[in-house]
Amino acid sequence: MTQLSRRELLRSAVLAGIALPALSACATPAGNGGASQPAPAAGATSAANPLGFAEDKPLEIWIFDGGFGDAYAKDVHEALVKAKHSKLEIKHNATKEIAKTLQPRFAGGNPPEFINNSGADAMDFGALVQDGQLADLTPLFDAPSWDDPAVKVRDTIDPVAIELGSYDGTPYVLNYATTVWGIWYSKKLFDAEGWQPPKTWDEFLKLCETIKKAGKIAPFTYAGKHPFYIYETILTLAAKIGGKDVLKNIDNLEDGAWKAEPVKQAATAFAELGAKYLLQGTAGLDHIQTQTAQNKGQVAMLPCGSWLENEQKDTTPADFDYAMFPLPDFTSSDALPYGTVHARPGEEYIVPSKSGNPRAGMEYMRAMLSKEGAGKFMEMVSTLTIVKGAGEGRTLKPGLKSSSDALTAAGDNTVWFLFRKWYVEMHDEVAAATGQLMSGKLTVDQWTDRVQKKADSIKNDSSVKKFSR
């Protein structure tokens, strides 16, 4: 169908809407521009433009204006692309609410070329993939890299990133920034008080007790309004106790995955922590409030990802000296050794397949994956990236150094879970139930029952596309 005749159809749908409202129901899908569009085809390729994007069509960029802000895109990546392709018009946008802002654009069939789909209001990747909205990024990974045409992009980055961005074997999502989770503290404070990062769970509890007894500062908190922050640690501890399969089973919606013994042990451990050592009012505070409380010396430790240092840069005292430690050994027979961390490439970037110039979106990604693009990004927003060696010769802040060291020390012992991306509903239910677990309103058994029930209902919901790893 040509563009013109499609418009005719739409117009008549509107007119039909006037005459016979009920019948216009049939017009709903017409607004989508047809799902069977071919994958974004390349135009003429050249050494300067290996992806063959159209230089005469604009490149519309949408950055999630969250912990990383959006200056990095403007100052680093867009500048890189602009320097190489002066004719390409780049339209920069930023928002805190990706889904609210951009979901209608998808529904309308005119999404932008490049989206940083992140934050609390990110769009559901599963739904986007299911609907064929995302461009296959294989051409990008097979293209020559920005820095050295002899090397493919694929070979300059952490392969886990491609794996994690793949849905049923096809890469759709670029996970750019590597995040490491852990328990964060002020090294300055710990040194001053003579506290040591704990290596075992017993030491951890003893440390909490010591801090509580000292009475100056609360031992522990988490972003109570966003219980993701605490279920993340519960699941990491569960994986440490029971091995990587614990999380894999959960992601794959295996029967009884949430009722596995390691999950229960980890939940019990944190429920105890919640009952005894939390900062007053934790349940009603959000991440910024708890993190600011830590900066102000009201609480000693909190779980977070490695974006923390950058997120708090405005409220952190200059000599705070951020550092993190991995989850301590729960027993001496944990399946994974001390130093295991929850780490994975995250901060997702996508190229909508039905945008006007998808190949330009990929070219932008190619620039992001250059050493210069990634290195400057690291410095600017204080996070690790998937680009190998991007941090060479750059100075890292203490928190970033600490998480970088933790990642190196962990080696292959990194764990992660993906259901948060695959099934947003699952994430919401786990978050809701875990908040109640931590404030003592649910027992561990009630918690596992509830969460397992949700997993089962998603498994049985034929309208939700299933993923596995």
Partner 1 sequence: MNHGRLRFVTGFLAVPVALYLIYVIAPYAQAFYIALTDWRGVTASPAFVGLENFRRLFADDVFWTAVGHNLLLLILMPLLTVGIALFFAFLLNAGGRGGAAGVWGSKFYRVVFFFPQVLAVAVVAVLFQQVFRPDRSGMLNAPLIALGFEPVGFLSDTGVALWSILGVLVWQAVGFYVVLFSAGIASIPRDLFEAAAIDGAGGAQLFFRITLPLLWDTIQVGWVYLGIAALDVFAVVWVMTAEHGGPDHSTTVMAAEIYRTAFQYFKFGYASAMGVVLFFFTIGFAALALRLSRRERIEF
Partner 2 sequence: MAEAAIPRSRALAREERRRRLGPFGVLTHLALLVWTVLVVVPIAWTFLASVKSEDEIFGDAWSLPAALRLDNWARAWDQAHIGQYMINSVVVVAFGVFGTMLFGSMAAYVLARYRFVGNRAIYLLFVSGLAFPVYLALTPLFFVVQNMGTLPVVGPFIGLNTHAGLVLVYIAYSLPFTVFFLAAFFRTLPGAVAEAAFVDGASHTRVFFQIMLPMARPGIVSVTIFNVLGQWNQYQLPLVLLNSDRSKWVLTQGIADISTAAGYDADWSALFAALSMAILPMLVVYTIFQSQIQKGLTAGALK
Binding mask 220-259 for partner 1 (x = CB under 8 A): ----xxxx--------------------------------
Which does residue 315 touch among partner 1, partner 2, none (CB within 5 to 8 A, set by kind)?
Answer: partner 2
**Residue range at the interface with partner 1 (CB under 8 A); choices 22-30, 190-198, 259-267, 314-322:** 22-30
**Residue range at the interface with partner 2 (CB under 8 A); choices 198-206, 253-261, 263-271, 287-295:** 287-295
Q: What is the DSSP string of 310-349?
A: HHTTTTS-TT--EEEEPPPBSSTT-SS-TT-EEEEEEEEE
| Amino acid letter, residue 222 | Y
Of 120 and 275, the one with the shorter C-beta distance to partner 2 is 120
Radius of gyration of the chain measured on its C-alpha atoms:
24
Per CB under 8 A, contacts with partner 2 among 27-66 are: 27-28, 31, 65-66
- As measured in angstroms, the least distance from the Cβ of 141 to partner 1 is 25
> Contact with partner 2 (CB under 8 A): which of 34, 39, 108, 394?
108
Binding residues for partner 1, rule CB under 8 A, total 56
Backbone angle region of 214, left / alpha / beta, with phi > 0 → left and psi within -120 to 50 → alpha:
alpha
How many whole angstroms separate alpha carbon 177 and alpha carbon 139? 21
> Contact with partner 1 (CB under 8 A): which of 117, 118, 133, 385?
133
How many whole angstroms separate alpha carbon 359 and alpha carbon 55? 10
Residue 455 token pair: 């997993």
| Amino acid letter, residue 165 | G
The alpha-helical segments, DSSP class H, found in 353-418 are 358-368, 371-381, 398-410
Per CB under 8 A, contacts with partner 2 among 111-150 are: 119-121
How many whole angstroms separate alpha carbon 406 and alpha carbon 239? 17
Contact call for residues 247 and 468 (beta carbons, < 8 A): no
Q: Strand pairing of 414-415 and 322-325?
A: unpaired
DSSP type of residue 49: -
Judged by CB under 8 A, does residue 463 bind partner 2?
Answer: no
- As measured in angstroms, the least distance from the Cβ of 438 to partner 1 is 10
Of 1 and 151, the one with the shorter C-beta distance to partner 1 is 1
N-terminal to C-terminal alpha carbon distance within the chain: 38
Judged by CB under 8 A, does residue 285 bind partner 1?
Answer: yes
Name residue 341's beta-bridge partners.
Answer: 414
How many whole angstroms separate alpha carbon 334 and alpha carbon 328? 10
Judged by CB under 8 A, does residue 180 bind partner 1?
Answer: no
Judged by CB under 8 A, does residue 292 bind partner 2?
Answer: yes
Which does residue 284 touch among partner 1, partner 2, none (CB within 5 to 8 A, set by kind)?
Answer: partner 1
How many whole angstroms separate alpha carbon 173 and alpha carbon 346? 10
- As measured in angstroms, the least distance from the Cβ of 313 to partner 2 is 9
> Contact with partner 2 (CB under 8 A): which of 42, 54, 79, 107?
107
Q: What is the DSSP string of 232-284?
A: HHHHHHHHHHH-HHHHHHHHTT-TTGGGSHHHHHHHHHHHHHHHHHBPTTGGG
> Contact with partner 1 (CB under 8 A): which of 6, 9, 10, 27?
27
Judged by CB under 8 A, does residue 22 bind partner 1?
Answer: yes
Which residues form the interface with partner 1 (CB under 8 A)? 14, 17-18, 21-22, 24-29, 32-36, 99-100, 103, 106-107, 121, 123-124, 127-128, 130-133, 224-227, 280-281, 283-286, 289, 293, 424-425, 428, 431-433, 435-436, 439, 441, 461-464
Which residues form the interface with partner 2 (CB under 8 A)? 7, 10-11, 13-14, 17, 27-28, 31, 65-67, 69, 93, 96-97, 100-102, 104-105, 107-108, 119-121, 286-289, 292-293, 296, 311-312, 314-315
